Every structure is written in C-alpha cells, then in structure tokens.
Structure 1
C-alpha cells in the first residue's frame, strides 16, 4: 500500500510576554510549566506510532507558537527523538521552527541545525523600534539583525521573516522603509500580514470600540501614548506597494500574504491551502485527517493531565461532508495566486468545477474578480483586494 503524505504541526504555547495584537493560544510561562508541558508533548507524540508510522510519510514539520525558541536545546532534541521514533520522516522534509529575536543563541541555532531543522521563521514585524515597542515585541531591530546574521553564519539557507503592516502610527514611508530594509537582506521568504484588531487583545480594548461608529477608522482613538491606526487611504497604499516593491527584489507573491524567491515557497503552508492531511500535536493544535477535522483541548492543565492518563484530548471532532470539503477547497485554494486547478477539482471530487459553481464563476468573472480558464480559476488583482467577498460566493456548492 502506498504511504500517504502527512504534515505535522507542533504547538509551543509559551512566550516571554503577550504582544498587544496577539490572539494566539500562548502565554508567559515558568521553567516548571515548560518542563511539564514538554514531557506531555513527547508522550503525545509517542502515542501516534501505531496509527501513523507504517501508513504515512511526513513531508513537512512546523514548530510554532508562542515562541518555540524559548525552549532549551535539550528540549528540542527530546522532541525530535520522539518524532523520529514515531514517524517516517522524509529525508528532504521541510522542517521549520519559529524564532523570536531575544530568545535565540548561537548554541540553539547550531543544535537546531544538527537536528535537521532546515528553515527558520523569524518574527520581526517591523524595523522601526517605536513600532516594535508599541506592538509589545521584546526585541529591537538591531537584535533581529544579530539573530539573522548568526543564523546565516550557522548555515541556515531558508529563512522567512514575518512583517505586519497597518500598525498604529505607521505611514507609507515607514512601511516602505521596513520592506526595503528586509528585502535588501535577501531572506528566501517574506510573510507580510496586515494587522487585524482581534477581540480579547489589548489593541482591541483600545482601538476596537472606535471601529463601531461606522467610520472604518480608529484614528480618533489616538492619544499621546497611542497613535491612531492608518486611515483607509494609507492602508490601501501600503497594501498596493507591497507586491510591487518586493517583486523588484525578486520575490514572487504566491499567496495573498506570502512572497518567496524561486523555489522557496513554504511547503508546509502550501499543504494547508491544498488541504493535505496534517496532524496537530500539542495544546489546542488542529488536525485534518481523512474526512475529519478536530483540535486538541486548549486548557493547559487538562492537556497535561489527559496525556499523562492516556485519555482523549481531541475536541470538536467534525465529520466533513462533500459540501464542506468543496467549500474549503475553494476558500483555501483561491488564496494561492496560481489558483485552483480545474482538473484537480475533477480528480478530487469527481465533479466539474463548472457544474458545481457555474453561475458563481460567471458572475465573479464578469465583475473582474476572477480569472477563469479551461485549466484554472484564480483571483484577479482586484479579487485579491476583496477576497473575503469572493469567498462568500462559494458557500453551499451544488453537489447533486
């Protein structure tokens, strides 16, 4: 029997301090908490051997958080020992670890390299120290540069840098300076996300109410301590300049928020957008296995207790219908600039995309939001700008 592809995501829910915009499942921790959690994580991994070792081959591994680079070298080594004992990992697997400046040392980088980690994702967000401070980041731009240079010296040849646009007080000029500074360093990959004010974050407490007056801007919230968010015109200019500026440095936009040099698109994230099977390991981690989607418990003490007692940690197990899977295929696949393969839909679902979504495709094409050919369906530049509006059109597919 042919082995099936599998991606692994491992969640490390610890950070030095919570950023002002962050709604991820993460929090500050002490050494004892981290030791207890890592013991449970290793135990969870070991429990998957019987189900996954023989029938699956792991093509990508992503260690995210939180701040995985907080962990000691021996903790990451224990993690990899468990992974190697449990799964068949391909020799050329893409293996990523997220790292934040201020938590990375030369010793850690050398240890990660020796374990087979071959891709770093560094959370910078801005080259402007005032913006970093406002965002709640623990590092300066100079500390990032030190981390980046050390990673290169240790032989890392596949580095992503995360950036955030439309942050409070940002101007077109300051964003341009961030982009040109980072592109000039030559990382293989750049993720450029636009700030979203999420409920439950300090930024929402301060800026969220201002967006409820219908004005679409939170500039009225500006104070001596907290600058306002960029207005719509500034946001638009920031958004439009990103792809053009990065293209000039040799970066191709291959997904709505992601840019890579030739051959360096993130294989792990492409797997998500192409709905490959993935197993989420650790606190709150989500999985897509077969026709099931679920996530692990998000309560730390419950997670540790249940793993140690070999009790069920999965929650909200959902059996996906054909309609669910087609919808997801469209939402996720259209995020890629190459779009969705017409032949791929036929092979995956046994139905033509034109039979499933004929009216919707014609409508969106006539509005200039989709490019539709005999081979592929993809968002136009205008469609990318209003992608969420486009995605709504693909609810409730015709599957009869």
Structure 2
C-alpha cells in the first residue's frame, strides 16, 4: 500500500512569491491534461492506496466536470477501499458550492485552503486573487457541505509585518476552529517577481512571530506535531507525515515528484510533452508498478537512493516530526552517531527512550542542525 500525489499545474494567476511549476488555466488544455492524468493513473491499476493529495498549482481551478472526471477515474482504476485520507487543495477564488459537493460525493475527506492572510492588503501584495470575505464564504460552505477536516495555510513574516500585526492575523484565523493549520515563513525564491524586485525577508521578526505562534496555538488546543504544522488531536496530516517518515509515494502529473523502490523521480515540467507521452501508455492489468516499472521517459530527474543516502534522508526528514522523532537505530552510521552525541550534549536534540527528537527551542535553526548530518 502506498500514497499518491497528483499535481495540477494550473492557476488563474501565479502568485508573486510562487516558484512551483504552474501555468495560466486554459479549459481546452486542462481537458487534455486530465485525460493524460487518467492514462498515467492506469499504470497503477488496482494499487492499494493509503492516501491521496491533489495539489498544485490550484486544483480547484479545474471545472466541475474536470474534477468529477478525474476523481471518478481514480475510484474506478485504483483500490481506494484502504484509503485513510484524501486531500484536495483549494484557492478561495476558484471554489463553488457545486465543486465542493462533487469533492464530498467522490470521497475527498480533507480540504487544504490557501488563505495566507486575513488582511486584504496583504493578499494583494502576495498576488492572491481572493479577499478575506471570499475565504469566509468558502469555509462556511465547505462546513455546510459536511467537511470535518480542513487545513488553513498562512504565510507569516511579510515585509513590514509586526508581531502585533501577526497576532491579529492568528486571532482571526483561530475563530474558524479549523482542524489543522500550516504556517510558512514568507520567503523570496529565485525566478519570482519578488526576487527580481529585490524584496527581502527579516529573519529576526520571523523568528519572533514563530515563537509567539507556538505559544498561542498551544494555548488554543493545537499540537505542534511538525515544524510548520499544527493540528487538533488525531488530525495530523497522514499523507504529509508519510513524506517525513521517508516512505514511498507515487507522483502523477507534469512536475510531480515521486519515490518508489528507492527511486526518487520528477516528471517533466512540460504539459504538452506530458500529454503527448501519456497518450502512448497502455493500461496495465495486475500488480501495477511491480509489473510496469519503466516510466522513465516521463521523467527529467531520476535518482537511486542508496543505503547511505537513505539513512541520511531518514534523519533529516524524521527530525521534522517533533512528537514522533526518529528511532535511535537510524544513527548506526559512526559519523551520524558522533554528530548525534554532539547534538545531545548541546541539547539541540533530546532522547526519550529509543526516540531522538528535535528540541523545540532549536526549531528555527533546524536547517543548520540537519546539515551536520550531510557534511
């Protein structure tokens, strides 16, 4: 049994901070893309799926008919009787009551909504197309449709944002009482308008905001289970936790990444080419990937993860899980064990029984800690 990620590389408009692969939505192209995705899914016929995450881009920009066609195909081709979580990403400006109804009827049991800010001026700065009022309508409609597991995405540490400003953002967001919250620092990536315009971040303010967020969310009943994620009891993201445990997952769609049989791959970031290549696929009957393992012609990146790299990645990913941590047996490499002893001595990492966990006061310098294991 494995997990499945599906990439929808369309948006109404690309956000000014976004570096993910996506293009402007076109209905005709999207129709062809959904057909190509279905051909790709066919290579994994009858696979037992534990979770599905449909991300992007903006999955909700697809038409109601396109969403229904894709989700129905997933149900027809794959074995979803074992599924634990089915997440669909939404941007408020492209959501309708009809789309939410289709999602609910076809098995989606978790929504992830890109709010990013409760302030319209901040949304405009980020290049978002929705208003806070639009988000409120979508959230309320989703609840009425019966969705009981909703994540809200927020971005903190915007230029000129003060700690007091952020506290008000968090205060308003908490009124929705969502089951899950994801908080991401404002960052300036290469090949984005912000980068070209010389926008910079303030690490000191971002750290203050992060520290305060930990206190506020804990006091409001949220468990800080992963560096960027908080949830109500037993509402952790099952699918994303699979990534942090360094487990396998299938990646479908142009620009999607996957990890199967110690092979980490990335599909081509060219929609027309992806559609063309998928049209040559034949539906495989039987034990999916085990019988049909040569999909390399769809890929631009393909790396075999040997035992040494696997152990290093397991440490780097697993330490993100603040409650769970990783088993001390993962540090059986002499070099890793020496670094572990050093980090334990400096109280950057803690040992609880047979588990090693990141000390919460060192979360903001997580990257510097895990890089030690890469050296």
Q: Bin the TM-score by the shorter chain.
A: over 0.9
Asked if structure 1 preserves the Cα contact closer than 8 Å seen for 2:49 and 2:83, the reply is no
Question: Which gives a bigger RCO, structure 1 or 2 (Cα 8 Å, sep 6+)?
Answer: 2
1:150-181: per-residue Cα shift (whole Å, max 9, x none)? 00010000000000001122111121111111
C-alpha separation in 2, matches of 1:43 and 1:342: 39
Which 10-residue stretch deviates more, 39-48 or 16-25? Answer: 39-48
Counterpart Cα distance in 1 of 2:332 and 2:152: 36
Answer yes or no: is the 8 Å Cα contact 1:354–1:361 preserved in 2: no
Q: What do residues 39-91 of structure 1 show as CA deviations (whole Å, max 9, x unaligned)?
A: 11111112332xxx2xx421100000111111122212211222123221135
The whole-number CA distance in structure 2 between the counterparts of 1:344 and 1:188 is: 33
Q: Which residue of 1 aligns with 2:182?
A: 191
Shift of 1:362: 1.2
Contact 2:328 2:356 in 1 (8 A): no
Deviations 1:325-370 (A, max 9, x none): 001101100011024332664xxxxxx6475622101111222211
1:371 aligns with 2:367: no
Aligned to 1:13: 9
Instruction: Give the distance between the partners of 1:308 and 1:12, measured in 2 at CA.
Output: 18
> Which structure 2 residues correspond to residues 376-395 of structure 1 after superposition, within 5 A?
376-395=355-374
In structure 2, the CA distance between the partners of 1:239 and 1:120, relative to structure 1 (3 Å rule), is: same
Aligned residues: 361
Q: Is the 8 A contact 1:158 1:187 kept in 2?
A: yes
Which ranges of structure 1 fall in alignment gaps of 5 or more residues?
209-217, 219-228, 346-351
Q: In structure 1, what is the Cα distance between the partners aligned to 2:303 and 2:98?
A: 42
Gapped runs of 5+ residues in structure 2?
A: 282-294
Name the structure 1 match of 2:88: 97
Measured on the aligned residues, the alpha-carbon RMSD in Å equals: 1.6
**Structure 2 length-normalised TM:** 0.92
Does residue 236 of the first structure (1) align with residue 212 of the second (2)?
no
2:323 & 2:332 partners in 1: Cα distance?
A: 16
Whether 1:33 and 2:18 are equivalent positions in the alignment is no
Residue 329, structure 1, aligned to residue 314, structure 2: yes
Map Cα deviations across residues 286-325 of structure 1 (whole Å, 9 max, x no partner). Answer: 1111111111111111111111133821232211110110
Q: Distance in 2 between matches of 1:91 and 1:320?
A: 28
Q: Separation in 2 of the partners of 1:98 and 1:11? A: 10
Deviation of the 1:232 alpha carbon: 3.8
Counterparts of 1:137 and 1:393 in 2: how far apart (Å)?
37
Alignment check: 8 A CA contact 1:6 1:277 kept: yes
3-state secondary structure, aligned to 2:224: strand
- Write the distance in 2 (CA, Å) between the matches of 1:10 and 1:120: 15
Q: Can you list the C-alpha shifts for 1:243-277, whole angstroms capped at 9, x where unaligned?
A: 11111111110000000000100000000001121
Q: Could you say which residue in structure 2 is the equivalent of 1:357?
A: 336
Q: Does 1:172 align with 2:163?
A: yes
Secondary structure of the residue that 1:88 maps to in structure 2?
Answer: coil
Q: Structure 1 length as normaliser, TM-score? A: 0.87
The answer to whether the 8 Å contact 1:368/1:382 transfers is no
Is 1:320 the equivalent of 2:311?
no
Verify the 8 A CA contact 2:207 2:364 in the aligned structure 1.
no
Once the two structures are superposed, what CA deviation does each residue of 1:191-250 show, in whole Å capped at 9, x if it has no partner? 001011100001111125xxxxxxxxx4xxxxxxxxxx5x44322211111111111111
Q: For residue 293 of structure 1, what is the aligned residue in structure 2? A: 264
Q: Distance in 1 between matches of 2:247 and 2:77?
A: 20
